[in-house]
Amino acid sequence: MQASSLGYRTDLMVRRLAGSVITDRGDHLVVRSPGNPGFYWGNFLLLADAPKPGESGRWLTAFQREFPDAQHLAIGVDTADGDPGAVTELVAAGLTVEVDTVLVANSLVEPAGSNRSADFRPLATPGDWRQATAMRRAVAAADGFASPAHQLFLERQIDEDRRLVGAGHGQFFGAFDSGQAVALLGLVTDGTGVARFQSVETHPDHRRRGLATMLVYQAGCYGLGEMGARNLVIVADPSGPAIRIYRALGFIPTERQVGLARPASAEALAVDPLTSLPGARPTLVGG
């Protein structure tokens, strides 16, 4: 099976570069991230087609067979039109349907009244990464995700980010105010001309200042220049504040991406993709 939707193609690109194991079962893919088993959108099924009536039980069984120790359920649907298919039984099993918007830009518009008070640059030193790690922990705590399980997920995710950068597969960028990391995001590419944004976050004490907006612009310009990307891809909640900001920067909606997920517990709901679950799709947190 070859993923056809841009959203999932770039999700899989990032997973491959990060070392995830992707197994082709013919009509679906199994994506495993052994180093971070609590990462929902690193451990999921991707279906080639939207489920048909009567198929839900089959996919629940397939997920349990592939991930017998998982406390979560995560199933993606490789369509671009936002149609989840016949998912009544999956919803009855506790999964929530999320439909996000995939946006693309091949050039960017500098934000009006852009914030230039901070230093916007790639993370370059161990000290930068320590600052970024502390900031992401502060974001998680402020958003109510301070459990040991979430902290472990976060530590593993940060380790993965550093490995991606170290292997030359992308870059993470920060906005620094008086030497403190106050906003962060990643941009990952496999060198084929497409770059995918990762977690866009702002420190809770520095929100609503346009820092993340300016950081997306600066990082995107870097991607289109130094990284050689022709297309920048980002995913957003169609009803959230981020999509308006992305569109103002020049991103154009091209697809609707479908995922169904059930968290391990209410506390396990987390910051990232599907915007509210520990995972893979970036969201703008804090402006």
CA dist 34 and 54 (Å) reads 31
Whether 12 contacts 1, CB under 8 Å: no
Amino acid at 25: R
Per-domain residue ranges for the chain?
6-99, 119-254+267-285
* Cα-to-chain-centroid distance, residue 252: 18
Mean pLDDT score across all residues of the chain: 89
Structure tokens at 259: 């995922």
Q: What is the pLDDT of residue 278?
A: 42
Q: What is the pLDDT of residue 153?
A: 84
Predicted confidence (pLDDT) at residue 271 exceeds the cutoff of 50: no
What phi and psi, each to the nearest 5 degrees, are found at residue 61? -65, -40
Whether 61 contacts 73, CB under 8 Å: no
Q: Tell which wins on pLDDT, 253 or 178.
A: 253
Q: What is the pLDDT of residue 265?
A: 57
Give mean pLDDT, residues 25-33.
Answer: 97
CA dist 179 and 181 (Å) reads 7
Q: What is the pLDDT of residue 141?
A: 85
Give, in words, the CATH class of 119-254+267-285: alpha beta
Place of tokens 């550093």: 162
User: Which one, of 38, 33, 34, lies nearest residue 14 by Cα?
Assistant: 33
3-state secondary structure 210-222: CHHHHHHHHHHHH
Whether 285 contacts 202, CB under 8 Å: yes
